[in-house]
């Protein structure tokens, strides 16, 4: 008899921490890294009135996730993070909480002077390296065990696709390109409306 899976979405009631394994990288990063220094380092960049900004710690955790996952688009980064329970736990968000908008991430990046931004990002990454969580020279992929006939002599050390500096430049370029496309689209719509 052919089986058929019926699916009815349920309201879950569980703690996210109970679903993230103890050996998970993002769980270890959350438990190891103390990024509270970012509040003091960035305090002068924020006003005293208005709506609260994105938490600087959350902002740098998002950027660190983008670097570790090789995601250069802010839009794709938010989409990627929202689907990963371990990353949500690392960021301090519950499964039903909305992550910051991609445009908020982009605007926050522009808020920081380039030199301060790079200094702080490198400091956060250095904390990861010093805690033994990230080596910066090897990438690994977790997968299901599959029988293979591979020789250990053929194993080659995998080097990250780019350095931190190159990754940050690529992020900036990709997000600038997205802005240009959005402005062009808006201009076309406005031109179309004015013709009609």
Ordered by start, the domain boundaries in the chain are 16-138+163-195
In this prediction, residue 86 has a pLDDT band, given cuts at 50, 70 and 90, of very high
pLDDT of residue 165: 79
pLDDT of residue 27: 93
DSSP-derived secondary structure letter, 16: G
The residue behind tokens 């802010």 is 74
91-118 per-residue burial string, b: 16 or more CB within 10 A, e: under 16: bebeeeeebbebeebbebbebbeeeebe
Average pLDDT rounded to a whole number, residues 83-98: 93
Q: Is the pLDDT of residue 186 over 70?
A: no
Q: Is the pLDDT of residue 12 over 80?
A: no
Q: Is the pLDDT of residue 111 over 70?
A: yes
pTM of the model: 0.65
Mean pLDDT of the chain: 81
In this prediction, residue 189 has a pLDDT band, given cuts at 50, 70 and 90, of low
pLDDT of residue 93: 93
Q: Does 166 or 146 have the greater pLDDT score?
A: 166
Phi, psi of 26, deg, nearest 5: -70, -30
């Amino acid at each position: 008899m052919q089986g058929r899976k019926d699916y009815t979405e349920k309201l879950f009631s569980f703690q996210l921490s109970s679903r993230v394994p103890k050996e998970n990288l993002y769980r270890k990063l959350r438990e190891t890294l103390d990024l509270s220094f970012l509040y003091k380092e960035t305090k002068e960049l924020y006003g005293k009135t208005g709506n609260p900004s994105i938490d600087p710690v959350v902002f740098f955790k998002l950027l660190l996730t983008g670097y570790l996952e090789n995601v250069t688009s802010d839009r794709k980064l938010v989409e990627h993070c929202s689907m990963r329970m371990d990353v949500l736990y690392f960021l301090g968000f519950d499964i039903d909480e909305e992550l910051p908008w991609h445009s908020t991430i982009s605007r926050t990046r522009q808020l920081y002077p380039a030199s301060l931004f790079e200094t702080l990002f490198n400091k956060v990454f250095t904390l990861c390296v010093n805690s033994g969580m990230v080596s910066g020279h090897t990438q690994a992929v977790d997968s299901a065990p599959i029988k293979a006939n591979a020789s250990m002599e053929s194993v080659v050390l995998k080097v990250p696709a780019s350095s931190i500096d190159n990754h940050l430049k690529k992020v900036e370029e990709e997000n600038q390109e997205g802005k240009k496309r959005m402005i062009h689209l808006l201009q076309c719509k406005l031109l179309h409306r004015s013709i009609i």
